[in-house]
Amino acid sequence: MRADAMTALGALRGRVGVNLPAGLTRHLGLLAVLLLVGLITAWNSSAFLTGANLLNVSQQVAVTAVLAAGLTLVMTSGGIDFSLGSVAAVTAGVVARLIASGTGEWTAALAGLAVGAAIGFGNGAVVTVFRVAPFVATLATSTVLGGAALLIIDGQSVSIGDHLDELGFGEVLGVVPATVVVAALVCMATGLVMRWTAFGRNAFAIGGNENAARLAGIPVARTKLLLYTVGGLLAGLGGVMLVARLGAASPGTGGLQLELTAVAAVVIGGTALHGGSGTVAGTVLGVVLLGVVANSLNLLQVDAHFQDVAVGGVLLVAAVTNHLRGRFR
């Protein structure tokens, strides 16, 4: 058993060590694509590089970045969570209902975070205790939560008035939107956790080889449970940011489109679908790329339906590239 554990540890160290240079290479490629899209758009639209438009793009991608940061943690461990957009929708509904009933805005926001974390914990329990495949478990949760979100708001918009304006419309230093600052802090904190803590290294190890991680003494089930809980917590934060920005929770808040965009950003950012590699920096670049592509298509007055085709095409190319890179690693 001791020999097996030593072999497992060696395999894990090798796995993490190999992924760092590959991650840097992926980032350079994403930056090149992002620059190319930006140059093409700027050439055809003078509005693209204006301060107002760039701030608009940053606000549009802030919530996605928060969800994608949590999803990066989960996917690095070899899992997946298709319920994050629906968690955000439920959280937004809960926060709006509480504020509408007279609850203090920040108390309601904290309650929303607790709801998100609780749902994430539930997903983690289903995956670790009952050993249900993450894809199936979280897809089922997404469906349940989609209906629950509509029930919470009775299928209609629930306004919060001017509550949470400090978050939704506030600015730091009079320039940077508060939602962007929150997203940046979340992404930086998540990146530090992944890179410099035992918890982050355990996530990489589990995604690289779960059996080897278990032999090496890593608490696999407990780590997975915490990963899904953190993912749910950040999705809850995304829901709070959404309702603060929109000023209401409505049937179109969060949901499937948001979670699919988050998954696309993580995959585009280079996180392996089978786990074991990935960076928050890559995920952020993926989020920004999708946001810039959507903004560019809007500025160029491209048909809205084609925007989904474009995003889907980018995701498909990223997934194939990710797969091929894993085969030849």
Q: How confident is the model at residue 277 (pLDDT cuts 50, 70, 90)?
A: confident
Distance CA 283, CA 267 (A): 8
Three-state SS for 269-282 is: CCCCCCCCCCCHHH
Q: Indicate the DSSP class of residue 284.
A: H
Distance CA 329, CA 325 (A): 6
pLDDT tens for residues 95-104? 999 999 999 9
Domains and CATH numbers, the chain: 2-328 (1.10.3470)
Residue 1: exposed, middle, or buried by beta-carbon count in 10 A (0-12, 13-18, 19+)? Answer: exposed
Token pair, residue 157, equals 């918009």
Q: Indicate the DSSP class of residue 171.
A: E
pLDDT tens for residues 165-195? 999 999 988 889 999 999 999 999 999 999 9
Q: DSSP H helical segments within 45-104, as ranges?
A: 51-76, 84-100
Q: Which of 2, 6, 1, 9 is nearest to 209 (CA)?
A: 9
pLDDT tens for residues 92-142? 999 999 999 999 999 999 999 999 999 999 999 999 999 999 999 999 999
pLDDT tens for residues 4-47? 444 444 444 444 433 444 445 557 878 888 899 899 999 998 99
Predicted local confidence at residue 327, as pLDDT: 58
Predicted local confidence at residue 314, as pLDDT: 74
C-beta atoms surrounding 143 within 10 Å:
14
Provide the b/e sequence for 19-54 (b: ≥16 CB within 10 Å).
beeebeebbeebeebbeebbeebeeebeebeeeebe
pLDDT at 244 over 50: yes
Asked whether the beta carbons of 96 and 248 are under 8 A apart, the reply is: yes
Mean pLDDT of the chain: 87
Percent of the chain, pLDDT > 90?
A: 66
Q: Is the sign of the CA dihedral 256, 258, 259, 261 positive or negative? A: positive
**Residue reference for tokens 């089922």:** 140
Distance between terminal CA atoms of the chain? 29
Predicted local confidence at residue 92, as pLDDT: 97
Can you name the residues that pair with 329 across neighbouring β-strands? Answer: none
Q: Indicate the DSSP class of residue 249.
A: E
Q: Which of 281, 186, 212, 268 is nearest to 16 (CA)?
A: 212
Three-state SS for 97-142 is: HHHHCCCCHHHHHHHHHHHHHHHHHHHHHHHHCCCCCHHHHHHHHH
Q: Is the sign of the CA dihedral 70, 71, 75, 80 positive or negative? A: positive
The CA dihedral of 200, 203, 205, 211, to the nearest 10 degrees, is 150
Predicted local confidence at residue 25, as pLDDT: 58
Asked whether the beta carbons of 249 and 93 are under 8 A apart, the reply is: yes
